[in-house]
């Protein structure tokens, strides 16, 4: 179906995805088709097609906590520490009170929403030690979203997961966890600079694969970022809700790669459409840069072969309805995708 869907089968092992294709790292709009074989993009063919679809990479959400899906919009008016500080922040108390079945069911619903909203993968900082890792694996069964799970708590959680996700060096030094994660060759991420700058140097001393938040970097922290080329995952909607300030996204982008995350589900919907629109309208960055933050930047952090429409990449594609009431007549396709598209514009997600 090309005129209204943009996706058609060409052979048993081949699919053609037609429309305006946002190609490569610059998301250059080209009319044509993406040729997919055995789940891999093998070619992008430029030519006139009948489809009005918009084809772009599916999203990679670079920072989530979906365990707290059990309590959406709980804790209104509380400070960040009251909301999420371990071990007795509201989130942690609610998680202890919830049954395993309740947590799995709630996470499953959030993952289903993410799948419908065009997310191919997310990087999850998972509370609950080994049991927490097992719970999100159970929640993700039969949901077409790849969960890159970073365990928290013991190093056993790291061994059961895809790496370790640390809370911040004001909570602990995390040197033992960092060393164990490095020995396993797994991903290590850590929160830094969310409330103030006091934990940034300690976090960077651990040589993490990426930092989360970086709302309050000092000039020397930005220099360290540039020297180490350490990526940052920013979560501006979450930072606004918790009243900690906003990250200096333009300055961060001048030094390193920056990815977008939606953070806690009990604070924000895990919608990358909403996160993109917020970032694009709040910060002095281009729509192309924001789309890069929502796709390939997160994929690069997690070592995933998606996030771009380019030959050799996994064919995890988002197909939008370019003739929807919301998107029809767009003069700048990339700006329209970033600043106004939403879940209602999704026609298909190719995986």
Q: 3-state DSSP: the chain helix, strand, coil percent, rounded to 5? A: 35, 25, 40
**Share of residues in the chain with pLDDT > 90 (%):** 88
Chain segment 166-218, per-residue pLDDT in tens = 999 999 999 999 999 999 999 999 999 999 999 999 999 999 999 999 999 99
Contact 46, 30 (CB under 8 A): yes
CA angle 248, 152, 304 (to 5 degrees): 65
Could you report the per-residue pLDDT of 214-231, keeping only the tens digit for each? 999 999 999 999 999 999
Contact (CB, 8 A) for 338 and 295: no
8 A C-beta contact, residue 236 and residue 251 = no
Q: Does the global pTM surpass 0.75?
A: yes
Residues 264, 61: contact at Cβ < 8 Å? Answer: no
* 129 — pLDDT class (breaks 50, 70, 90): very high
pLDDT at 78 (0 to 100):
83
Q: What confidence tens digit (pLDDT) does each residue in 30-78 have?
A: 999 999 999 999 999 999 999 999 999 999 999 999 999 998 988 888 8
């Amino acid at each position: 179906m090309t005129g209204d869907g943009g996706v058609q089968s060409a052979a048993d092992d081949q699919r053609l995805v037609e429309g305006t294709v946002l190609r490569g790292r610059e998301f250059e709009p080209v009319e044509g088709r993406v040729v997919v074989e055995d789940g891999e993009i093998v070619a992008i063919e430029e030519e006139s097609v009948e489809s009005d679809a918009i084809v772009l990479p599916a999203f990679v959400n670079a920072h989530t906590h979906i365990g707290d899906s059990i309590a959406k919009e709980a804790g209104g008016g509380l400070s960040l520490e009251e909301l999420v500080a371990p071990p007795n922040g509201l989130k942690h108390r609610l998680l202890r009170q919830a049954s395993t079945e309740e947590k799995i069911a709630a996470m499953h619903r959030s993952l289903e929403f993410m799948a419908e909203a065009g997310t191919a993968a997310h990087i999850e900082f998972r509370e609950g030690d080994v049991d927490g890792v097992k719970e999100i694996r159970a929640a993700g069964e039969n949901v077409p979203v790849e969960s890159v799970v970073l365990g928290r708590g013991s190093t056993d959680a790291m061994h059961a997961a895809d790496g370790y996700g640390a809370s911040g060096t004001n909570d602990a030094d995390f040197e033992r966890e960092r060393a164990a994660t490095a020995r396993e060759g797994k991903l290590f991420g850590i929160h830094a600079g969310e409330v103030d700058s006091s934990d940034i140097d300690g976090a960077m001393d651990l040589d993490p694969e990426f930092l989360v938040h970086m709302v309050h970097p000092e000039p020397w922290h930005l220099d360290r970022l540039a020297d180490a080329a350490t990526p940052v995952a920013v979560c501006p909607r979450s930072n606004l809700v918790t009243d900690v300030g906003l990250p200096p996204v333009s300055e961060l982008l001048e030094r390193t790669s920056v990815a977008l995350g939606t953070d806690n589900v009990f604070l924000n919907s895990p919608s990358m459409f909403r996160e993109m629109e917020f970032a694009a309208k709040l910060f002095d960055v281009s729509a192309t840069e924001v789309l890069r933050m929502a796709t390939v930047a997160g994929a690069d952090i997690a070592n995933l072969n998606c996030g771009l429409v380019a030959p050799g990449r996994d064919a995890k594609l988002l197909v939008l309805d370019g003739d929807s009431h919301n998107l029809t007549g767009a003069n700048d396709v990339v700006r329209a995708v970033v600043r106004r598209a939403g879940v209602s514009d999704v026609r298909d997600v190719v995986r």
